[in-house]
Amino acid sequence: MNTRMPDRLNMQFIAYQLDVPDAMAKARALDELQRLNHPPLLILDTCQRLEIFGVELPMLSAFKVAGQMNEVVAFERLARIAAGLESRVLGELEILGQVREAYKRFRETGGTDNSRLDRVFQDALSLARQARRESGIDRNLISLGALASREMMDHLPPTAHVAVVGAGSIAGSVARYLTKRGNFPVRVSSRCPRNAMALAMEVGGFGAGLDELVPLLSGVAGIVTATAAPHALIYPHHLADALRPLTIIDLGVPPDCHEDVPKMDGITYIRLEEIEARAQVNSEERRQRGELAARIIKDGAVAWSRKR
């Protein structure tokens, strides 16, 4: 595929789909992108995708470009993602927050220097919100974070301590739900201790980095993991001082727990696929709402292309 960069005199908004065949390749690509983020890019990293939105992709070595979309197609693609039309659970709620977070990072890394590109992202998010609102695609849909939290609450005694591993959109949803709806004391661990501490302070708990998992998990009755780590984070030795019975809900892609963890005595291990299955309710009605959302975004992208 020709990956020549666009003419600097005629830069247009472009989306790139990156070829990251496994989690390790994805991690290397992210590391390189974050170190050489110039010009500013919107880097959308979720469990399912690694896509880049901007005017120019830096020449990097960690990946190949699997696909490239022109301005209007890229605009529609970003709006579709934010509306939940490209998600494993149609209309899922967390993805909109993940796109907003990616947009926030774009602005923090100099994105406001390109006012036109900043406006493009705002317009795409606005169109996605309109499609959600008018189609009702997420009506009666419970988020993965809320479903995981409810499942955990069904397994726990009152006031049991819970650990949340991760500090992203889904992990934050779980931590807030457990404290506000269930009144459970929550501990937070993340690759970035600062992010863990920020989420922990928000929910009145305490946080730590992944190097402190053993003390963090001591005495907990439940663990929810929700990271995009390329490898397992939790091994049997991390759970030596956790309570039994112990409930673990693993929302990681790939799984955050080592394959030996589900085999341990006294542990109930619930996978992401089991939580997703609970979200797939009223599938025919949601499919129809998804078609309406897609039409709204298609029409909106056409109208946007005429104004630009």
CA torsion sign for 207, 239, 30, 272 is negative
pLDDT at 204 over 80: yes
Asked if 125 and 179 sit in the same domain, the reply is no
Give me the pLDDT at residue 62, please: 64
- What domain range is 216 assigned to? 144-278
Asked if 174 and 54 sit in the same domain, the reply is no
Give the amino acid at 234.
I
Q: Does residue 259 lie within any of the structural domains? A: yes
Give me the pLDDT at residue 60, please: 65
Asked if 171 and 125 sit in the same domain, the reply is no
In the block, tokens 């501990």 appear at: 187
pLDDT (tens digit per residue) in 208-261: 999 999 999 999 999 999 998 889 999 999 999 999 999 999 999 889 999 999
Q: What is the pTM of this model?
A: 0.72
Give me the pLDDT at residue 307, please: 85
Name the pLDDT band for 5 (thresholds 50, 70, 90): very low
Asked if 37 and 66 sit in the same domain, the reply is yes
* CATH number of domain containing 20: 3.30.460.30
CA torsion sign for 60, 190, 128, 106 is negative
Asked if 231 and 302 sit in the same domain, the reply is no
> What is the total count of domains within the chain?
2
Asked if 217 and 303 sit in the same domain, the reply is no
Asked if 120 and 219 sit in the same domain, the reply is no
pLDDT at 182 over 90: no
Give me the pLDDT at residue 64, please: 75
Asked if 42 and 115 sit in the same domain, the reply is yes
Name the pLDDT band for 8 (thresholds 50, 70, 90): very low
Kindly give, in sequence order, each residue whose CB lies less than 8 Å from that of residue 91, ignoring residues fewer than 6 positions away. 83, 84, 85, 132, 137, 138, 141, 286, 289, 290, 293
Asked if 129 and 102 sit in the same domain, the reply is yes
Q: Which residue has the higher pLDDT, 72 or 46?
A: 72
Q: Does residue 47 lie within any of the structural domains? A: yes
Give me the pLDDT at residue 37, please: 63
Give me the pLDDT at residue 47, please: 65
Q: Which residue has the higher pLDDT, 46 or 62?
A: 46
Give me the pLDDT at residue 56, please: 75
Average pLDDT, the chain: 87
Asked if 274 and 292 sit in the same domain, the reply is no
Asked if 78 and 118 sit in the same domain, the reply is yes
Asked if 235 and 203 sit in the same domain, the reply is yes
Name the pLDDT band for 285 (thresholds 50, 70, 90): confident
Beta-carbon-side half-sphere exposure of residue 25 (alpha carbons within 13 Å):
12
Q: Does residue 1 lie within any of the structural domains? A: no
CA 101 to chain centre: 9
pLDDT (tens digit per residue) in 274-283: 998 887 766 7
pLDDT (tens digit per residue) in 249-270: 999 988 999 999 999 999 999 9
Is 104:30 a contact under the CB 8 Å cutoff?
no
Nearest to 100 by CA among 164, 38, 168: 168
Q: Does residue 3 lie within any of the structural domains? A: no
Q: Does residue 226 lie within any of the structural domains? A: yes
* CATH number of domain containing 232: 3.40.50.720
Q: Does residue 2 lie within any of the structural domains? A: no
Q: Does residue 157 lie within any of the structural domains? A: yes
Q: How many other C-beta atoms lie within 10 A of the C-beta of residue 265?
A: 7
